[in-house]
Amino acid sequence: MKKSIITAGVAFSLAVPGAMVYADSPQKSALEVPSIEEKYEDSFEIGAAVEPEHLEDPIRAEILKKHYSSVVAENVMKPINIQPEEGEFNFEEADQIVEFAKENDMDLRFHTLVWHSQVPDWFFQDENGDPMVDEEDPEKREENKQLLLDRIENHIETVVERYKDDVDAWDVVNETIDPNASNERGLRESPWYQITGDEYIKKAFETTRRVAGEDAKLFINDYNTEVEPKRTHLYNLVEGLLEDGVSIDGVGHQAHIQIGWPTIEETRKSLQMFADLGLDNQITELDVSIYGWPPSGEYNTYEEIPEEVLEAQADKYDELFRLYEEMDTSISNVTFWGIADNHTWLDDRASEYSDDGIGKDAPFVFSDRYTTKPAYWAIMDDNEGAAAMFSDVTEDMTHYEAIDALYREGVINGFTDELFGPGESLTRIQAALMLERIMGLSFDGEVNHGMADVAPSYEETVDNVTEAGIFAGDEEGNFNPYENMTREQMAKVLTEAFDLAEGEEVPEAEVTDRNGTSLAPYIDKVIHAGVASGYEDGSFGVGDDIKRMDFAAMLYNAWQQ
């Protein structure tokens, strides 16, 4: 009986460790792929921000119904839309979204009752139409303060009374924190603050609770909640409000983020801080910009965006949703700030900062043509390990730890869509592809390998691995891409790739067939490095094809060195 070693092979798709590979994932219509909301139905609601006209577009409406279990108005429930003039309420567009949610049994988030932006000027004008913030007389300032608080109360009473049976979560106050503010609490010095201090916040929550009832879910919402000093300012505000008896159920984290910012640990810490206060967390406006800050806006059209940028975005989404699932007892809703890349506020921002006034962003998991992006496949990856992915892999099989670890790291994919092929032999080109990607080798733009039997699709890979000294051609100038690799050949390749240290000669008594090959020194190295071992019968298996599961274990062990 032969002893299996920790090692395996697959028609692998490899990446730099820590990154998943989705470039080869198919682009399919959003209406033809599995539902996002069904994927996460046991963890949290999946939402999207919409405009009323989106609900009249057959494609957008069907995508909403298929992939999302929650909706929020992008604009039409903000104060300037609901009450543009004092006492004149406009509910027509808001009603459209409410009815769509009801008809399709979707959760509804209300955004937002109080905000410093998209609020009509009349809120902050006194009875003579003059700006309240300019008033210097203390008595009149106090009158203005009470007038503004009364206006907040009236606005909230009217809106909440209308929708209290339809709304599942209320963004009561939006964006109260400004880390650049002059006050030590970091409260945004908006007209709300200048006229009332922090009383407008308390009035808003108290009024919403009184009208909506005890079962209503009330949120304070903000952006950049992951980073300091804003995170601590928001935490201190919320903690203080709770101590004062103000009824708050949760914190909304907008999550307007970038591929490289913030870190996943910053995000985790923020979510946990508020969970430790006994509060719910909701991700309320998620989009992942393809730019940094400020955005360069360097891509004028969707077609100009490089695939590697979308791959990096997919890695970010994968990282985020792994965290969200890990913390799903503290997160009740994850809402994207849009449906697909053909409608996003980030286009305006990219254009504003670009050199030519034109810029295109692509922050979501569906493209501008409603097809799947690498980010979609990233968040739909089951994240449950190799046993869940491959029908021929079980948790009790030999080398499962190695197979599973490499799968979770995005180092290996399957032989087919559902099979790992643990007992299949590994070819030279398959090994070359794996090692190229795991070593992070990149093509310099010029093919130099000079081998005649390499297909065009593999030219760059072969060039990379031969220039790196990991592989070489035969005496006749061929690479032999489809030739199976033997175990001793793999020992040589892994030694070259991972620069394994020189090892003492392994006695023939320990490896009976060691002296039967010129590659014996490489066998010595992989054995001494703990990358591989011999069979139970005392042989190394010289001349045997390397099997996929055995190569996975060897690769995993070498990678861990």
The three state secondary structure string of 94-143 is HHHHHHHHHHCCCEEEEEEEEECCCCCHHHHECCCCCEHHHCCCHHHHHH
Helix or strand run (H / E) with residue 350:
helix 346-353
DSSP character string of 500-541: PPP-PPPPTTTSTTGGGSTTHHHHHHHHHTTS----TTS---
Helix or strand run (H / E) with residue 189:
none
Could you report the per-residue pLDDT of 36-89, keeping only the tens digit for each? 999 999 999 999 999 999 999 999 999 999 999 999 999 999 999 999 999 999
Q: What is the mean pLDDT of the chain?
A: 90
CA dist., res. 330 & res. 292, Å (int): 29
pLDDT at 23: 53
Domains and CATH numbers, the chain: 39-304+329-338 (3.20.20.80), 386-560 (no CATH)
Could you report the per-residue pLDDT of 273-290, keeping only the tens digit for each? 999 999 999 999 999 999
Q: Given a cut of 80, is residue 516 above it in pLDDT?
A: no
pLDDT at 452: 85
Find, among 293, 284, 198, 289, the residue nearest to 237 by Cα: 198
Helix or strand run (H / E) with residue 65:
helix 58-67
pLDDT at 408: 66
pLDDT category at 221 given cuts 50, 70, 90 is very high
- Kindly state the average pLDDT of the residues 223-252: 98
Q: Given a cut of 90, is residue 12 above it in pLDDT?
A: no
Which residues lie closer than 8 Å to 343 by C-beta, 6 or more apart?
Answer: 51, 54
Phi, psi for residue 501 in degrees, rounded to 5: -70, 155
pLDDT at 98: 98
- The DSSP symbol for 2 reads P
3-state secondary structure 200-268: HHHHHHHHHHHHHCCCCCEEEEECCCCCCCHHHHHHHHHHHHHHCCCCCCEEEECCEEECCECCHHHHH
CA dist., res. 347 & res. 354, Å (int): 10
Give yes or no for a cis peptide into 112 (omega within 30° of 0): yes
- Kindly state the average pLDDT of the residues 247-265: 97
Q: Which token pair is 68?
A: 């999302």
Q: Given a cut of 70, is residue 8 above it in pLDDT?
A: no
Cβ atoms of 229 and 181 within 8 Å: the answer is no
Helix or strand run (H / E) with residue 486:
none
Give the lowest-confidence range in 48-52, 133-137, 381-385: 381-385
CA dist., res. 304 & res. 320, Å (int): 26
CA dist., res. 355 & res. 330, Å (int): 42
Q: Which token pair is 110?
A: 């209300």
pLDDT at 24: 52
pLDDT at 414: 64
Length of the chain: 561
Q: Which token pair is 338?
A: 């849009």
Cβ atoms of 528 and 501 within 8 Å: the answer is yes
pLDDT category at 449 given cuts 50, 70, 90 is confident
| Catalytic center residues | 285
Helix or strand run (H / E) with residue 444:
none
pLDDT at 13: 33
Centre a 10 Å sphere on the Cβ of residue 418 and count the other Cβ atoms it contains.
Answer: 10
High-pLDDT (> 70) share of the chain, % = 92
Exposed, middle or buried, 465 (CB in 10 Å: 0-12/13-18/19+)?
buried
pLDDT category at 402 given cuts 50, 70, 90 is confident
Q: Given a cut of 50, is residue 337 above it in pLDDT?
A: yes
Among 177-191, 412-426, 430-444, 536-550, name the most confident range: 177-191
Cβ atoms of 256 and 306 within 8 Å: the answer is no
Q: Which token pair is 123?
A: 């809120």
The angle that helices 548-559 and 428-438 make with each other, rounded to 10 degrees, is 30
Give the lowest-confidence range in 10-14, 56-60, 232-236, 280-284: 10-14
- Kindly state the average pLDDT of the residues 85-112: 98
Cβ atoms of 435 and 465 within 8 Å: the answer is yes
- Kindly state the average pLDDT of the residues 454-481: 88
How far, CA to CA in Å, does 252 sit from each of 35, 140, 163, 173, 271?
24, 35, 20, 10, 10
Strand, coil or helix: what is 283? strand
CA dist., res. 428 & res. 183, Å (int): 65
pLDDT at 503: 64
Predicted TM-score (pTM) of the model is: 0.69
CA dist., res. 119 & res. 80, Å (int): 5
CA dist., res. 351 & res. 45, Å (int): 32
Find, among 358, 400, 407, the residue nearest to 381 by Cα: 407
Centre a 10 Å sphere on the Cβ of residue 16 and count the other Cβ atoms it contains.
Answer: 15
pLDDT category at 9 given cuts 50, 70, 90 is very low
Find, among 387, 266, 384, the residue nearest to 320 by Cα: 266
CA dist., res. 113 & res. 444, Å (int): 55
- Kindly state the average pLDDT of the residues 91-111: 98
The one-letter amino acid code at 555 reads L
Cβ atoms of 544 and 490 within 8 Å: the answer is no
Phi, psi for residue 368 in degrees, rounded to 5: -70, -10
Give the lowest-confidence range in 119-128, 131-140, 322-331, 465-474: 465-474
Q: Given a cut of 90, is residue 388 above it in pLDDT?
A: no
pLDDT at 409: 64
pLDDT at 538: 84
Answer positive or negative: Cα dihedral of 477, 480, 485, 490.
positive
- The DSSP symbol for 50 reads E
High-pLDDT (> 90) share of the chain, % = 68
Centre a 10 Å sphere on the Cβ of residue 200 and count the other Cβ atoms it contains.
Answer: 22
Q: Given a cut of 80, is residue 382 above it in pLDDT?
A: no
CA dist., res. 295 & res. 318, Å (int): 22
Give the lowest-confidence range in 39-53, 315-329, 486-500: 486-500
- Kindly state the average pLDDT of the residues 550-560: 88
- Kindly state the average pLDDT of the residues 261-271: 96
pLDDT at 443: 66
